[in-house]
Amino acid sequence: MFRREWNRLAKRKTRLAHRRPPRRRTAGPNENPRMELPWHLSNTAVRELLDLQERTRADLIFLSESHLNNCKADELRRNLGFDSMLVVESDGKAGGLVLFYHKSNKIELNYVSPHFIDIVFMNEEVVQWRFTGFYGRSKWNESHLSWDDIRNLYSKGNHPWVVLGDFNEILYPSEKEGGMARPLGMMREFRECLMDYGLDDLGYTGDLFTWRRGEIRERLDRGVYNIAWANKFPRAAVINEEHVHSDHRPIVLDTDYLDEKIFKRPQGRVKQFEARWLKEETVTEIVKASWEKARLASIGPSLADCTRAVHADLHTWDRETLKGPKVRIRKLKKELERLRRGPLNKESQGHQKEIIVLIENILDQEEIFWLQRGRAN
């Protein structure tokens, strides 16, 4: 999912591994709730990958241009909370594909090459549907080889089929902004390839462009599907997620995205005492100080009134101290996303760099905080 700056594993994953592993639910034979792809691995972007997995609780993650060997991929697999993986090793300089998944999803490898991993989802020895994680050739004079790959994969079966990844090509001129114009013939070859093999673009939610460099933006990453897959997953959608460091956005396939539940307004969560607070060394001091403050302020004559005051102070402490860094990062990421969807100019790029530095500083401070707390415990 991350481009070239994902060259080696980051120490950041060690800190994140201290947190509770993300919960997951087993996908049934007709579902695969979420899949992230295709980021291209680098140093600091591992932080984003782990954060994305914590938020989406993906059942499957595909990485292209991973620059990983089996050993490093296995280390990342453990930190992401998966129990299985398929790896096409990098030569150390470029390439590399990784597919992380759970055994409970009953996945079988179909075909593999340096440019794709093709799998099928099984149920009682019957193929339910097919997924291909794809990485297209980056050189224009080799793009026909990518379409040959699609052709060969198409000939291997007629199951419900979805292909997601970095195709390194756009369908229309409107999917590119800045730089040299894309040759019309190359875009036409891509469109004809999809039409010839019954594949349609899944579309997207979020920003149009999935790749950027300087003042150039393009939609290189996408999902395509056949009609049988669309009938099987009529509520599916691709989300072009936010990103910080990578020149590629992570894209998420959610097979239940258009479920009617997303149109319902979520009910507010009742504030209650959080058991996790008991693991904090300072919680006792917070309670004592709050209780004393309430007593001195003569807040009500009853035990219930003082308890309510303590309860309010505990939630303030939780919001401002324990969750403070996450809230700040979330706000900075929203501002970064707003700038990236806006006009491309030097002022915007400069502001984006400032925000990225701020996010990194907060993450580093939080890492030190958790490390010190871990040593103290």
Residue-level pLDDT at 125? 86
- How many Å apart are CA 241 and CA 316, to the nearest integer? 30
**Residues of the chain scoring pLDDT < 50:** 1-42, 260-266
Residue-level pLDDT at 276? 63
Residue-level pLDDT at 97? 93
- How many Å apart are CA 97 and CA 148, to the nearest integer? 19
Q: Are strands 161-166 and 126-135 parallel, antiparallel or unpaired?
A: parallel
Structure tokens at 170: 């756009």
**Bond into 183 cis (ω within 30):** no
- How many Å apart are CA 186 and CA 304, to the nearest integer? 72
Query: Considering the domain 12-263, what is its CATH architecture?
Result: 4-Layer Sandwich (3.60)
CA distances from 71 to 9, 55, 58, 68, 162 (A): 11, 26, 22, 8, 29
Question: Do residues 128 and 99 make contact, with C-beta atoms less than 8 angstroms apart?
Answer: no
Structure tokens at 282: 């300072």
Which are the contacts of 88, defined by CB distance < 8 A and separation ≥ 6?
95, 96, 97, 98, 112, 113, 114, 117
Residues in the chain: 377
Nearest to 133 by CA among 161, 94, 104, 91: 161
Domain ranges of the chain: 12-263, 266-322, 325-377
- How many Å apart are CA 144 and CA 152, to the nearest integer? 12
Structure tokens at 32: 């695969």
Residue-level pLDDT at 91? 76
Question: Do residues 359 and 334 make contact, with C-beta atoms less than 8 angstroms apart?
Answer: no
Residue-level pLDDT at 1? 40
Q: Are strands 205-206 and 237-240 parallel, antiparallel or unpaired?
A: parallel
Residue-level pLDDT at 260? 44
Nearest to 314 by CA among 274, 347, 341: 274
365 exposed, middle or buried (CB, 10 Å; 0-12, 13-18, 19+)?
A: exposed
Q: What is the 3-state secondary structure (H, E, C) of the chain?
A: CCCCCECCCCCHHHHHCCCCCCCCCCCCCCCCCEEEEEECCECCHHHHHHHHHHHHCCCEEEEECCCCCHHHHHHHHHHHCCCEEEEECCCCCCCCEEEEECHHHCEEEEEEECCEEEEEEEECCEEEEEEEEEECCCCHHHHHHHHHHHHHHHCCCCCCEEEEEECCCCCCHHHEECCCCCCHHHHHHHHHHHHHCCCEECCCEECCCCEEECCEEECCEEEEECHHHHHHCCCCEEEECCCCCCCECCEEEECCCCCHHHHCCCCCCCCCCCHHHHHCCCHHHHHHHHHHHHHHCCCCCCHHHHHHHHHHHHHHHHHHHHCHHHHHHHHHHHHHHHHHCCCCCHHHHHHHHHHHHHHHHHHHHHHHHHHHHHHHC
Give the pLDDT confidence of 142-201 residue by residue, as tens digits.
Answer: 999 999 999 999 998 889 999 999 999 999 999 999 888 899 999 999 999 999 999 999
